[in-house]
Amino acid sequence: ESGVEPGDIPLKIGSFGGEAGAQNPSTRSRIEAALGVDAYDYYGLGEIGPTFASESAAKSGLIWAEDHHVIEVVDPETREPTPEGEVGILVITHLTREATPMLRYWTNDFARVDSSPSPCGRTHLRSPGGILGRHDDLVIYKGAKFYPVQVEEVVRSFPGLSNEFRVELHPDESTGRDRCVVVAEAAEGEANSGLSVKLRDRLGSELLVTPEVEVLP
């Protein structure tokens, strides 16, 4: 409306958070193309602190501020620590917060940790891929399990689709099972022209289960 294109704003670097955030390759590439910035991911929680993990220039995953926090990854069912590299729930203890200390705070966020040094030289624990999903966002469909961030990665990898999508679960009274429908939106000026079939096939490959797909004009 003001005649200013996003790419005209003189930004060089942007930090982005929220679930997978800029760790999602398709989302990162769209942000960088739209704003002309180098996009980095970061992680924070209101209960722990605004930012206590961030990517370095190597973009090798979130690097944790271990001088202030103990980072654990635990199995969501047994609540026992997972082997390094396996996905589990992040549990965080704040070491230096005085007024409201947090001991083994259950974040409900999925991640994995890697203790090998980052290519940038930093030696703190890091989480390749960043935050992989929310435990309470888990979708179970036909026995398969997936997270909305996985759908996001697929949808935003299609140039002919906009950024918007939603995952709908509808009870099917005739079968007693849920119907899963992924609703996406064609990018401005794009015709559907087979997008629904292509999106359905890609989702089936990535999620190991094939939802119904609807692409809106």
Task: Report the topology of domain 138-216.
Answer: GMP Synthetase; Chain A, domain 3 (3.30.300)
Residue with tokens 């890091």: 126
Q: Which of the pair, 91 or 193, is modelled with greater confidence? A: 91
* pLDDT at position 88: 96
Quick one: which of 145, 173, 161 has its CA closest to 200? 161
Cα gap 119→3, rounded to integer Å: 41
Asked whether the CA dihedral 121, 61, 16, 14 is positive or negative, the reply is positive
Quick one: which of 214, 202, 89 has its CA closest to 151? 202
CATH of domain 6-135: 3.40.50.12780
Retrieve residue 159's tokens: 């140039």
**Under 8 Å between Cβ of 21 and 14:** no
Which tens digit of pLDDT belongs to each residue from 94-142? Answer: 999 888 889 999 999 999 999 999 999 999 999 999 998 889 888 999 9
* Mean predicted lDDT score pLDDT of the chain: 91
**In the chain, domain spans:** 6-135, 138-216
| DSSP per-residue letters across 98-154 | -SS--SSEEEEEEE--B-SPPTTS--S-EETTS--EEGGG-EEETTEEE-HHHHHHH
Question: What would the mean pLDDT of 192-208 be, rounded to a whole number?
Answer: 91
